[in-house]
């Protein structure tokens, strides 16, 4: 039997720690007549508690949901360690991505050139103050709220632009654009870059008007 795992235990309350050392913490979990006990390093208990809290669950509920996913696992303790490490890695990546996106958004709004962020579904995600000024200079009665109904289109298919930029990291391309606002249309040239490079369906393009 794996030294990290026991399955026959005396009755116990949920998630207690009858034995604790500097290297391991021993906890017991109970669900109905089922009882399980695991001995893990404190760092893995901390990770699992954070993961459970992030999903609005108690540690026991999160623990058993993981156990149920691998009912035939020979070493559940190892599986639980792996799940904790995976959660920490994914959370770190998400935080890093969030920080990068936030920094990029600050730079986008600080840019003096009229700019707009377009999602892969061709919806407007954001536009900067310079873009609002650009619209106002050509349509004096336009309001910021009017941008909600604006339509922005490139002269090339969005999928084609994204494909080029994904295959040429660090590059940008120039193409024509058309902004439709109400019954009026504005056209010109813009430089397009990959603003957010994620999985298909989450990518975003940043377009900055040059003429």
| Mean pLDDT within 69-88 | 75
* CA quadruple 65, 69, 72, 78: dihedral sign: negative
Q: Residues 168-178: pLDDT tens digits?
A: 888 899 999 99
Confidence at residue 16, expressed as pLDDT on a 0 to 100 scale: 42
Chain centre distance of CA 138: 37
Residue 58 has pLDDT above 80, yes or no: no
What's this model's pTM, rounded to 2 decimal places? 0.51
> Which has the minimum average pLDDT: 16-20, 83-87, 124-128, 179-183?
16-20
> Which has the minimum average pLDDT: 12-21, 81-90, 155-164, 176-185?
12-21
**188, containing H or E segment:** strand 184-196
Query: Which residue, 88, 80, 92, 91, is CA-closest to 25?
Result: 80
Asked if residues 190 and 207 have their Cβ atoms less than 8 Å apart, the reply is yes
**17, containing H or E segment:** strand 16-20
Confidence at residue 7, expressed as pLDDT on a 0 to 100 scale: 40
Q: State the chain's maximal CA–CA distance in angstroms.
A: 78
Asked if residues 117 and 126 have their Cβ atoms less than 8 Å apart, the reply is yes
């Amino acid at each position: 039997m794996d030294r990290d795992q026991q399955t026959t235990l005396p009755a116990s309350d949920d998630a207690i720690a009858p034995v604790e050392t500097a290297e391991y913490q021993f906890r017991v979990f109970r669900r109905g007549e089922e009882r399980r006990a695991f001995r893990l390093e404190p760092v893995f208990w901390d990770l699992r508690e954070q993961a459970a809290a992030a999903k609005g669950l108690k540690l026991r509920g999160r623990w058993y949901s993981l156990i149920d996913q691998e009912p035939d696992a020979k070493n559940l303790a190892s599986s639980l360690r792996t799940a904790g490490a995976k959660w920490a890695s994914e959370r770190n990546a998400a935080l890093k991505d969030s920080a990068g996106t936030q920094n990029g958004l600050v730079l986008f709004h600080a840019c003096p050139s009229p700019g707009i962020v377009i999602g892969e579904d061709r919806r407007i995600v954001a536009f900067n103050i310079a873009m609002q000024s650009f619209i106002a200079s050509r349509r004096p009665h336009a309001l910021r709220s009017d941008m909600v109904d604006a339509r922005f289109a490139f002269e090339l298919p969005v999928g084609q632009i994204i494909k080029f930029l994904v295959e040429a990291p660090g590059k940008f391309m120039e193409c024509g654009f058309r902004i439709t606002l109400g019954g009026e249309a504005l056209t010109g040239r813009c430089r397009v870059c990959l603003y957010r490079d994620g999985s298909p369906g989450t990518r975003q393009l940043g377009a900055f008007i040059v003429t």
